[in-house]
Amino acid sequence: MENGLSRRRFLRTTATAVALSAVAPASFAALGQAKPRRVGVIGTGWYGKNDVFRLIQVEPVEVVAICDVDTDLLTEAAELISQRQLSGNRPQTYGDYRKLLADHKLDIVIVGTPDHWHALQTIDAIKAGAHVYCQKPISKDVMEGEAMLSVARAYNKVVQIGTQRRSTPHLIEAKHEIVDKGLLGKIHHAEMCCYFHMRANGNPEVQAVPGHLDYDMWTGPAPLRPYDGIPHIRWWRTFMEYGNGIMGDMCVHMLDTTRWIMGLGWPKRISSFGGIFLDKSGKSNIADTQSAWFEYDELNLVWQHRAWGNPADEDYPWSCIIYGDKGKLKLSTMQYDFVPYDKDVQPIHKDVVYEDEKYPEEKNEKRIERNAAPATRLHMLDFLNAIDHNKRPIADIEEGHISTASCILANISMQLGRPLVYDPEKRKVVGDREATKMLQKPYRSPYQHPGKRL
């Protein structure tokens, strides 16, 4: 057993050295540092574990403490982390992230909780002295995002957002080799979409909260819904109380990708229309059908999602297509296709990169997104490099805020039925007091919204 464990640790160390030397040489010295970076994890469900496992793969960090309100998830995560990290140590476990932050001096905190917790946990981790890797979308409302950005800058901490399309190998190639080299010509339009049937629905009965779950703490600053089943993974995403619907979950990725590839900032105007058009039978209150327009100078980015029916393009069910006057570029997590309009120019196709042989431990990992794992590893390397050199990471908190807030503003536009122009300097919707009031959601007592202190 010890020989097998030693071999696995050797393989992980070798893979780490190769990854660091090939992608981020400046971080290679971390392999020999006397004291590994101390890491804490808040939220040990699906993507909390996914992110910390990818971090462990690229640097021999020490995960010293983890937190979750579900003791079943917490126990499982502690055991898995002890098997993955080089020291073999089992991290200390907590049910309240505030005690975790108080007990440990951490270099890095990974926030992998549901959306409604991201702001408070990220801000508290920054104030406790840590750099933060936070999952997307960064916030539940616009003013949470403004507060997170302000605190990150005030404390001079690196905050990387989990919009890892910016670190996806084949998308990086598409940006550099197609867009940056002008193969598309003049770009005036882009379309983004998601046609996955990902809107959980149903009418489960109210029931007793199981003993392994602290449901009040799980709810935190959000409205306290009657408990009707484990909220993890899919169920919480179907309620606007905790997230921002498919717009905030899936559009945020493709909007962020398109902005990054084209070098775009805040949209000039945002408008959106949609609602629950097909299935009104269950408890879900997120839109099953929605379109949005993000307007720039002589350029529109258009979003469409349907949680029903078939995709417009079976090969690109969750994607963005950038249109130029010389060709179009189709992009997804799985591939890209450059389609030139000139028949004398060769089309270009590239598939996603997999790294199964480098990381054999992933073969038995539950719910791993194999196509996203290489991107997340590169994203972690970029995060570490930014910390080492005190610079902004590729998915800096400000970029995450723009992408997240734009999606939130689209939802507000859909609710009000009119276009919105957001002024990030004044932190208000221009000429629209009603919409401005909707930039900040009320918090459940005793939690205090961080936007009140701006």
Tell me, yes or no, if the two domains 2-165+372-397 and 167-367+399-453 fold the same way.
Answer: no
Q: Give the Cα separation of 369 and 383 in Å (integer).
A: 20
For 316-335, the DSSP string reads: -SEEEEEEESSEEEEEESSE
Reported as a single tens digit per residue, the pLDDT across 289-300 is 999 999 999 999
In this prediction, residue 34 carries a pLDDT of 65
For 380, half-sphere exposure in the C-beta direction (CA atoms, 13 angstrom radius) is 25
Q: How would you label 16-35 residue by residue, b for 16+ Cβ within 10 Å and e otherwise?
A: beebbeebbeebbebeeeee
> Residue 314: CB partners within 8 Å, gap ≥ 6?
none
Question: Percent of the chain scored above 70 by pLDDT?
Answer: 92
Q: Give the Cα separation of 452 and 454 in Å (integer).
A: 6
Reported as a single tens digit per residue, the pLDDT across 148-185 is 999 999 999 999 999 999 999 999 999 999 999 999 99
The CA distances from residue 212 to 48, 216, 218, 226, in Å, are 18, 12, 12, 17
Q: Give the Cα separation of 376 and 50 in Å (integer).
A: 9
Residue 8 reports pLDDT greater than 90? no
Architecture field, domain 2-165+372-397 = 3-Layer(aba) Sandwich (3.40)
In this prediction, residue 30 carries a pLDDT of 45
Reported as a single tens digit per residue, the pLDDT across 16-44 is 444 444 444 334 344 445 699 999 999 99
CB atoms within 10 A of CB 275: 13
In this prediction, residue 361 carries a pLDDT of 87
Domain 167-367+399-453: which CATH number of 3.30.260.10, 3.90.1200.10, 3.30.360.10, 3.40.50.1980: 3.30.360.10
pTM of the model: 0.93
Q: What is the mean pLDDT of the chain?
A: 93
Reported as a single tens digit per residue, the pLDDT across 370-419 is 999 999 999 999 999 999 999 999 999 999 999 999 999 999 999 999 99
Reported as a single tens digit per residue, the pLDDT across 210-266 is 999 999 999 999 999 999 999 998 999 999 999 999 999 999 999 999 999 999 999
Q: In the chain, what are the domain boundaries?
A: 2-165+372-397, 167-367+399-453
Question: Cis link prior to 419 (omega < 30° from 0)?
Answer: no
In this prediction, residue 15 carries a pLDDT of 41
Question: Cis link prior to 137 (omega < 30° from 0)?
Answer: yes
In this prediction, residue 454 carries a pLDDT of 61
